[in-house]
Structure 1
Amino acid sequence: MFDLGRSILASAERSPDAIAIIDGDLRLTYAQWLERIRRLVGAFDRLALRPGDRIATALQNTWQMATIHWACQLAGIAVVPLNWRVKADELDYCLPNAEVRALFYQDVSADAVRESAAAQALPRIVVGDPADAGDHSDQCFADLLDSEPAPALPRATAEHVSLFLYTSGTTGKPKGVPRRHRTERAAAIAHVAQNCYRRGERTLGVMPLYHTMGVRSLLAMALVDGCFVCLPRFDTGRALDLIASERLSCLYLVPTLYHDLLADPKFASTDVSSVRKLGFAGASMTDGLLKRLDAAFRPELFVNHYGSSEIYTFTIDQNAPAKPGSAGKAALNQRIRIVRLGSFDPDDCAASGEEGQIVADLFGDESFEGYWKRPDADAKALHAGWYFTGDIGFLDADGDLFVTGRVDDMIITGGENVSPVEIESVLSLHDGVLEVAVAGLPDERWGQRVVAFVKRARGVEATDLDDHCRTSGLANFKRPREYVFLDEIPKSPVGKILRRKLQAGEFALEQSPVE
C-alpha cells in the first residue's frame, strides 16, 4: 500500500511541470515544490528528527505550512497542526501531550509561543520575518531550505502516523486523534472519487490545515496533480479575486464561508463560471443557503459531506439541493446506523424516521483507532466496533440520513425533543434572515424554551418570523418563544455555531439591522 511520501513523489513524476501550489506571487511546479520538500526533509535530519517523531505547527495556510505537511509525509514524521490562534495554555497542554520534538510558528502565534513554557523548552522555527522570532536562538524557516535535499525516498510505511489532529475541545481538554498514512490516503482517495475530481483541478486552500477539511483539500489536489491556491485567512474579497484570476474549478468550504461569499457586494460582478463543483462539510447547510448557492454557481456537482476528524467520511450526498437537509448515504469506506437515544448497543437501531445517535463502523478504511492517551474518551465513544459520534439524526424512507443536531444540543421543552437544525432551516427560508442559530435556554415551566438568535435584514421583526414559522408547517411546540437579534452569530474558527456561547449569554446584541 502506498504511503503519502510515495504519493507526492508519484505526483511530481507524473506532472513535474504542472503548477502545484500558489501563494501570492509564488507559483511552484510539482518538480520545484518537491525540491523544497526534500530540502526540508534534509533540514529535519540536521535537527535530528527521525521517522516516528512529531513536530507541531501554529501556522496559517501558506506555502510553508503546506510544504511542512508534505515534508513530514516523506520523512515519516507526524505533523501536529495547531490552530494559529492557539493560546499559551493550549500549547502547554498539547505539546507535551503529543510528545512534540520541534515547533514551527509565525507572527500571529508568536505571543502564545513566547508565553508557553512547553514551547520554550523545544527547538523553535519561525516562518516569515526573522524579526518575529521570540528568541535569538530560534531558527528561521528560510535557512532550513538551504539544506541539501534529502534523497527522493519515502521513509514512512502505510502504518506510520501521518497526522495528529486535536479536536476543538468544546468540553474539557482537546482530544488527540492520531491518523495513519493508510487512513489519510484512503480518505483523500475517497474525497477525490466522491467529489468527482479530475486531473488538474484547482481549489481554494482556505480551510485551515489544522482541520481535516483543509488537509483533505491539500492531499486531494496532489493526488490529481491539481493546484492548491493558498489563502492564509478567509477574506471574501480576496477569495473572489482568486476564484476569478486563478480559474478555480472546485470549492470545499464550511457553510459560513459560502454565506459570506454570497453576501459580499463584489460577488455579483465576479466571474465564478470556472467553479463547477461545490462541496461543504463541518456543519449543516440551511435550505435557504443551499438554494442561493445553487442559483449563484449552477454547479455540475454539489456535495454535502458529513464526517469528523476521527473518521473522515460518514455519508455523502452528491446532489445536495435535490433533498435539502439530507446528508445522503454511507460513503465508499463506511457503514452507518442510527442507535436509539441513550443506548450504547450498536444493534439497538432506531426505526425509520426515528431520531437516534449516529454511529459509524470503526473498520472503515478512513477510521482512527482511538484517542491519544484518553481511555475515558474511548470508553464514551467506542462500543463494539462502532464509533458513537455524539450526533443525532434519522434515516428517511429512502434510507437517506438527516443530521438534526448534537446529543448535547437537543432541546427538551415540555418533555418533547426539539432539534435546533430543523428550526434553523425553516427560519433560513425567510428573506429577512441572514443567519440564524437556535438554542434551548432554561425555563421554569418548560425546562427549556426555544430561542432563535438571528442576524436580520432591516425591517424584519419578531412577529414576521413568528408568522413565518406558523405558516411553515413547523409543529407549534417547536416554534421559538423568543427572538434575539445579533450582529454576529458566535462561531468557531471553522464556522461551526457555538450554541454553548448563546446559552451562556456570551454574545453582543444587535446595534442595527443590516441594510
Structure 2
Amino acid sequence: MFDLGRSFVASVERSPDALAIVDGDLRLTYGKWFEKIRGIEGGLVKLGIGHGDRVMAIMQNRWEMASLHWACQLLGAVMTPLNWRAKPDEVDYCLQYSESRAIVYEGVSAEAVQGAQSAGGVPRVALDGAGGGTLGFEELMDAAPAAQLINAHAQDWSLMLFTSGTTGRPKGVPRRHQHERSAALAHIAQNLYARGERTLGVMPLYHTMGVRSLLAMSILNGCFVCVRKFDVPLALRSIQQEKITNLYLVPTLYHDIVQHPDLAATDIRSVRRLGYAGAPMTAGLVKRLQEVFKPDLFVNHYGSSEVYTCTIEPDVVSKPGSAGKSALNQRIRVIKYGSDDMDTRAPVGEEGEIAADLAGDEAFEGYWKRPDADAKAIRGGWFLTGDLGYYDEDGDLFVTGRVDDMIVSGGENISPTDIESLLSLHPAVDEVAVVGLPDERWGEKVTAFVKARAEVSPEELDAYCRSSSLPNYKRPRDYVFVDEMPKSPVGKILRRVIKEKHASA
C-alpha cells in the first residue's frame, strides 16, 4: 500500500500544472507546491527532525500549515497539530506528552508558545515574524531538499490528533499512513468526488474533518482553498470566486452560512455536493440547505478522530437525522446500554452505546501512552465511541447524543437530539439545545435552551411539542431563552457547558 508521501508525489507527477492550493492571493500548482514542500522537508532534516519524530503545529488553515503536513508525510515525521486557540498550559502539556521535537506557529499562537515552559527546549519556527522563534518559516523552507525524497512506509505513524479534553487532559490519537490514506480514499468514494474538485478548506487542520478534506483533494488532484478562520463573508466570497464544488462542514457553520445576508447575492451554483459531520443536523437546517443549494449529493458522515468514518447516510434529505449504514471500511453495532458485553446488542429501536470494529482500515490502535483511556474505550476488539444511538427497522443508525448527554427524567432515559430536531422546525427558533437540569421531582428536568429569531413564548413552544409526535415524557418542562449558544472551536454546541452553567441556578 502507498504511504501518503508517495500518494502526493503521484499526484504531482500526474498533474503538475493543476491548481493545488489557494490562500488569498497565493495560488500554487502541484508542481510549484511540491518545490516548497521539498524545501520544508529539507528544513526539518536540518533541524534534526527524523523518521518518527513528532512536529507540533499551531496554526490556522494557511498554506504553510498544509505544506508542513505534506512535508512530514514525505519525511516520515509525525504531524502533531494543536488548536491555535490553545493556552500556554495546554501547549506545555501536549508538547511534553507527545514528545514533539519542534514547534511551528504563527502570531495568533505566539503568546501561548512563549508561555509554555517546555517550548524553550525545542526549535521554534515562527511565521510572519511572530515572537519567540529560533528561526523563521522562510528560513526553514529555503533549505536544500532532503537527500531522500520519500522516507515513510504505510505502517509508519503519520499524524497525531488530540481529543478535545473537555473532561480531562487531551488524549493523543496516533494514526498510521495506511489509516489516513484509507480514510481519504473512502471519503472520496463516499462523496463521489471527481478529479479537479475544489473544496472550502475551513475545517481546522488540527481536526479530522480538515485533514480529511486536505488529503482527499490532494490525492485526486483537487484544489484546497484555505480559509484561515471561519468568517461567513469570506467563505461566501471564496465559494463564488474559486467555484467551490463541495462543502464538508459541521452543522453550525452551515447554519451561519444560510442565515447570513450576503448569501442572497452570492453565486453558489458551483457547489454540487454537501457533506457534514461532527454533530447531528436538525431537520430544519436540512430543509433549508436543500432549498438553498439544491445539491446533487447530501451526505451525513458519522465518525470520530479515533475511527474516522463509522457510518454514512448518502441521502440526508430523504431521511433527516439518519446516520445511515456502516461505512466502506467499518462495522458498527449498538450495545445494550450499561452492558459490558460487546455481543449484547440493543434491539431495534432501543438506544444503546455505539461501538466500532477496531479491525477497520481507518481505525486507530489505541491512545498515545494512555493505557487508562484504552481500558475505558477499547473492549474485545471494539471501540466504544461514547455515543448513543439506535437502529431503525431499515437497519439505519440514528445517533442520539453522547452517553454523558443522556437525560434521566422520571426514570426514563431521554436523549436530546430528536427534541432539538423537532424544535428546530418551529419558524421562530434559530438554534436550540436540550439538557437535563437537576429537579427534586423528576431527577432531571428536560430543559430547552432556545436562541430565537422571532418573538415566541414558552407556551407556544410547548403547544408545538404537544401537537407533534414527540412522546409526552420527552417534552421540555422548561424553556430558557438565550442570546448565544456556547460552542467548541469547530462549531459544536456545548450542552455540557450549558448544563454546568445552569445546574446550580
**Residue 149 (structure 2) pairs with residue 153 (structure 1):** yes
Matches of 2:499 and 2:346, distance apart in 1: 29
Match of 2:226 in 1: 230
Match of 1:172 in 2: 168
Matches of 1:379 and 1:390, distance apart in 2: 13
1:21-420 equivalence runs, <5 A? 21-128=21-128, 130=129, 132-134=130-132, 138-151=134-147, 153-420=149-416
Q: Which amino acid aligns with 1:186?
A: S
Q: Which amino acid aligns with 2:132?
A: G
Q: Which moved more, 1:494-503 or 1:32-41?
A: 494-503
Query: Alpha-carbon deviations, 1:254-291, whole Å to 9, x = none?
Result: 00000000011011121100000000000000000001
Match of 1:429 in 2: 425
Q: Which amino acid aligns with 1:10?
A: A
Matches of 2:66 and 2:98, distance apart in 1: 20
> Contact (CA 8 Å) 1:358, 1:389: kept in 2 or not?
yes
Identity %: 61
Q: Secondary structure at the match of 1:321?
A: coil
Query: Alpha-carbon deviations, 1:477-502, whole Å to 9, x = none?
Result: 11111111111111100111211111
Q: Secondary structure at the match of 2:309?
A: coil
Q: Secondary structure at the match of 1:322?
A: coil
Match of 1:461 in 2: 457
Q: Secondary structure at the match of 2:354?
A: strand
Matches of 1:339 and 1:124, distance apart in 2: 46
Matches of 1:155 and 1:489, distance apart in 2: 46
Q: Secondary structure at the match of 1:73?
A: helix
TM-score by length of structure 2 reads: 0.98
The alpha carbon displacement at 1:476 in A equals: 1.2
Q: Which amino acid aligns with 1:28?
A: L
Matches of 2:321 and 2:178, distance apart in 1: 31
Q: Which amino acid aligns with 2:417?
A: V
Q: Which amino acid aligns with 2:203?
A: M
Match of 1:512 in 2: none
Q: Which amino acid aligns with 1:324?
A: P
The alpha carbon displacement at 1:152 in A equals: 6.6
Q: Which moved more, 1:170-179 or 1:249-258?
A: 170-179
Q: Which amino acid aligns with 1:372?
A: W
Q: Which moved more, 1:444-453 or 1:150-159?
A: 150-159
Q: Which amino acid aligns with 1:245?
A: Q
> Contact (CA 8 Å) 2:311, 2:327: kept in 1 or not?
yes
> Contact (CA 8 Å) 1:38, 1:152: kept in 2 or not?
no
Give the ranges of 4+ consecutive aligned residues of structure 1 lying more than 4 Å apart after TM superposition. none
Q: Which amino acid aligns with 1:292?
A: R
The alpha carbon displacement at 1:145 in A equals: 1.6
Matches of 1:343 and 1:273, distance apart in 2: 49
The alpha carbon displacement at 1:92 in A equals: 1.4
The alpha carbon displacement at 1:153 in A equals: 2.4
**Residue 470 (structure 2) pairs with residue 479 (structure 1):** no
The alpha carbon displacement at 1:66 in A equals: 0.3
Matches of 1:314 and 1:187, distance apart in 2: 11
Query: Alpha-carbon deviations, 1:454-490, whole Å to 9, x = none?
Result: 1102321211111111111111111111111111111
> Contact (CA 8 Å) 1:38, 1:151: kept in 2 or not?
no
Q: Secondary structure at the match of 1:303?
A: strand
Match of 2:434 in 1: 438
Matches of 1:459 and 1:83, distance apart in 2: 37
**Residue 490 (structure 2) pairs with residue 494 (structure 1):** yes
CA RMSD in angstroms comes to: 1.2
The alpha carbon displacement at 1:453 in A equals: 0.7
Matches of 2:169 and 2:141, distance apart in 1: 35
> Contact (CA 8 Å) 2:429, 2:454: kept in 1 or not?
no
Matches of 2:113 and 2:223, distance apart in 1: 32
Q: Which amino acid aligns with 1:331?
A: A
The alpha carbon displacement at 1:150 in A equals: 2.6
Matches of 1:257 and 1:445, distance apart in 2: 38
Q: Which amino acid aligns with 2:221?
A: D
Q: Which amino acid aligns with 1:354?
A: E
Q: Which amino acid aligns with 1:278?
A: L
Matches of 1:303 and 1:414, distance apart in 2: 36
The alpha carbon displacement at 1:151 in A equals: 5.0
Query: Alpha-carbon deviations, 1:198-250, whole Å to 9, x = none?
Result: 00000000000000000000000011100000000000000000100100000
Matches of 2:86 and 2:404, distance apart in 1: 25
> Contact (CA 8 Å) 1:221, 1:228: kept in 2 or not?
yes
The alpha carbon displacement at 1:327 in A equals: 0.3
Matches of 1:149 and 1:464, distance apart in 2: 67
Matches of 1:152 and 1:269, distance apart in 2: 50
Q: Which amino acid aligns with 1:3?
A: D
Q: Which amino acid aligns with 2:64?
A: Q
Q: Which amino acid aligns with 1:62?
A: R
> Contact (CA 8 Å) 1:40, 1:68: kept in 2 or not?
yes
> Contact (CA 8 Å) 1:127, 1:141: kept in 2 or not?
yes
Q: Secondary structure at the match of 1:209?
A: coil
The alpha carbon displacement at 1:149 in A equals: 2.1
Matches of 2:468 and 2:149, distance apart in 1: 61
1:506–1:113 distance in 2 versus 1, CA, 3 Å = farther
The alpha carbon displacement at 1:506 in A equals: 6.9
